[in-house]
Amino acid sequence: MKSVEIKSCNSRFHKNIGKYAVSLSDSCFHCGLCVEICPYCVFERKDGFNHVLAPNSAGCLGPECKEGPYYCTTKCPVDAIKIELDPQWKTLGDFRWTPDLIITTWQQAETGEIPRGNLEYRMGASGGGFDIFDFTADGLTDMSSSEIDNIITSDKISTSICLNRRGEGASIEIPVPWYGAGMSFGSISLPSMLARAHSAKAWNTFTSTGEGGYPDELIPYSNHVITQIATGLFGVSEETIKRAPIIEFKYAQGAKPGLGGHLLGDKNTPGVARMREAVPWNSLFSPFPFHSVYSVEDHKKHIDWVKSINPDALISVKVSTPSDVDMVAVGSYYAGTNIINLDGGYGGTGAAPEIAKKNIAMPIEYAVTKVHKFLVEEGVREEIVLLASGGIRTALDIAKSIALGADGAIIGTSDLVALGCVRCGNCESGRGCPRGIATTDPELEKQIDYLWGAQRITNLYASWQKQLKLLLYKLGLKDIKELRGRTDFLRRIDEK
């Protein structure tokens, strides 16, 4: 595989958000010493000017810097520099996506490197599931940077997975154990979709159309775009099925299991409506469930129907996680599915009732374990690909879901965070996302240049692959496939 181009890709905003607030008091006489010593560009003085600019706090490492040679506060001749925890930090993020995770995801999207600061980039703070597990061996602390570089660049550790494990049909391998989740045109903007597709192409992996049709702009990326068929059948046609190497049946979505899809009227702009063959400015509901599928046999009928249109396509089935999800998975296997995508309850969404997000269906951590175990007992585990989604935020989450029994993962929200999402949760109504990501407002969506966005996602993926390679090295493994089901590599960190 040709190597993926990683290049630095800065934030599109004037001001970045950081954990610490750096301020200069009135006693500063603009000697410029801080500009010279700080290597993180917190202080800047424009050429030919006297005054030091207002500090760029986002670059500051905070108290951690104290140990090193660059600590400005003690070096300042007039004690004018003050570093404190930014009260703004508390307003960012939540338990699942902590401010640390959001900022470090942004950092990875900018640089393509594993974050080196003191922010927690590996897990959230939700107090359960992925967040109470760690690997028995991990961390970079005891390795020299040249050693790390060797492992990262080496080809000896493989992170690729195969998406077809049946004896027949197309053989598709992706170099990283993840691909992009379905996000429809309508829930996100066209530039966001293009950015995801462009980056999927660069990484030779996939992204999915979601249930909102297949915009013509995506055709150049068709080898890397999955066509989703969901219950509303919005934008599904013979051409879009023929075009795709993988067809995804969406039965339910983790964030709103059993409730179908929901696009509020405000976001159904004329462009979206045209694509969905609907009336503009009306709320669009995808029903639940497929009203033609009430059994495994009905499900097989659907698969046969797709196979008769596109015999080469692999079939993926996206289901959420009820208590009988293991039976659903086995049923899908017998219907001829290649990939089972379990979408856990804590996953992302463009719009969902709050009550559904926490309460309906189980988190992905439980479902993966349960389904993997059941498929092994049924003797069919080696013929099917099990992918986890719904609450996978970091490279470590991917690794943990693999250790719990999945083959790989499917990524949604992290892609959007790479594009600059702060997870404010206002994607659903009005003009949509004020940051131009999950919107169809022609003015707001201009905020994203798709090539810039593609580079950001590409960079994030690069950092993730490096983390996975390091982890595998630390665990003494050579291939991500060896990690599957190895729960013995996991330990609980919430109890001693």
Partner 1 sequence: MYKRYHIETSPVELSTTKIGKFEIIRNDACLNCGRCMTHCIYDVHERDSDDPRIMSDPVNHLCKNCFSCIQNCPYHALEMVMNKEFEKLGNTYWTPQIIHTIWNEAEEGKIPVFGAGYRGRFRGSGFDDIWTDMSEIVRPTRDGIHGREYIATSVDLGRKLAWISDFRRLNLPNSYEIQIPMLFDTNPLGLNSKSIFLSIIKAAHKLGTFAFLDIENYVNELKPYLKSIALRCSLDKITNLDQSPWKEVNFIEIVLTRKFSISELERALKKLKSENRTALISLALTDFSLSKGIFKQFMEARADILNFHADNHGQSFEGNIFICDSIRKLQLDLVKQRMRGEVTILAKGGIAAAEHLPKIIICGADAAVLDLSLLVAAGCRVCKACKLDDCPAEIEKLDPEIAEQRIINMICAWRDQLLEILSAMGIRDVRRLRGEKGRAMFYEEIERESFEFILKQKETAK
Site for partner 1 in 244-273 (CB under 8 A): 251-252, 255, 257-260, 262, 264
Q: Is 285 in the site for partner 1 (CB under 8 A)?
A: yes
Q: Are residues 469 and 152 in contact, defined by beta-carbon separation less than 8 angstroms?
A: yes
Residue 250 or 466 with smaller CB distance to partner 1: 250
The residue written with tokens 């993730």 in the block is 464
CA 60, CA 120: separation in Å to the nearest integer?
15
Q: Three-class SS of residue 82? A: strand
In angstroms, give the least distance from the CB of 479 to partner 1: 22
In 7-88, which residue ranges form alpha helices assigned H by DSSP? 33-37, 72-75
Choices 27-35, 62-70, 86-94, 233-241 (CB under 8 A): range interacting with partner 1:
86-94
Torsion angle, alpha carbons of 131, 134, 139, 141, to 10: 90
Choices 41-49, 168-176, 273-281, 485-493 (CB under 8 A): range interacting with partner 1:
485-493
In angstroms, give the least distance from the CB of 177 to partner 1: 21
Site for partner 1 in 180-219 (CB under 8 A): none
Choices 217-225, 307-315, 417-425, 475-483 (CB under 8 A): range interacting with partner 1:
417-425
Site for partner 1 in 371-410 (CB under 8 A): 390-391
Cβ neighbours around 473 below 10 Å, total: 20
Cβ neighbours of residue 260 closer than 8 Å, sequence gap 6 or more? 231, 232, 285, 286, 287, 288
Cα distance from N-terminal residue to C-terminal residue, the chain = 44
Residue 251 or 461 with smaller CB distance to partner 1: 251
Applying CB under 8 A, among 30, 166, 357, 481 the residue interacting with partner 1 is 357
- Give me the 294-333 binding string for partner 1, x by CB under 8 A, dash otherwise: xxx-xx-------------------xx-xxxx--x--x--
CA 80, CA 138: separation in Å to the nearest integer?
40
Residue 117 or 254 with smaller CB distance to partner 1: 254
- How far CA 424 is from CA of 246, 420, 430, 479, in Å, comes to 32, 11, 14, 37
Residue 86 or 157 with smaller CB distance to partner 1: 86
In angstroms, give the least distance from the CB of 139 to partner 1: 20
Residue 274 or 491 with smaller CB distance to partner 1: 491
Of 73, 9, 67, nearest to 38 (Cα)? Answer: 73
Site for partner 1 in 103-162 (CB under 8 A): 126-129, 131-132
Residue 121 or 251 with smaller CB distance to partner 1: 251
In angstroms, give the least distance from the CB of 86 to partner 1: 8
Applying CB under 8 A, among 14, 142, 146, 216 the residue interacting with partner 1 is 14
Residue 161 or 361 with smaller CB distance to partner 1: 361
In angstroms, give the least distance from the CB of 226 to partner 1: 20
Phi/psi-derived region of residue 481, left when phi > 0, alpha when psi is between -120 and 50, beta in every other case: alpha
Torsion angle, alpha carbons of 459, 462, 467, 472, to 10: 170
Q: Is 428 in the site for partner 1 (CB under 8 A)?
A: yes
Site for partner 1 in 60-79 (CB under 8 A): none
Applying CB under 8 A, among 34, 76, 83, 92 the residue interacting with partner 1 is 92
How many residues sit in the footprint of partner 1 (CB under 8 A)?
98
Of 332, 347, 173, 345, nearest to 246 (Cα)? Answer: 173
CA 319, CA 464: separation in Å to the nearest integer?
26
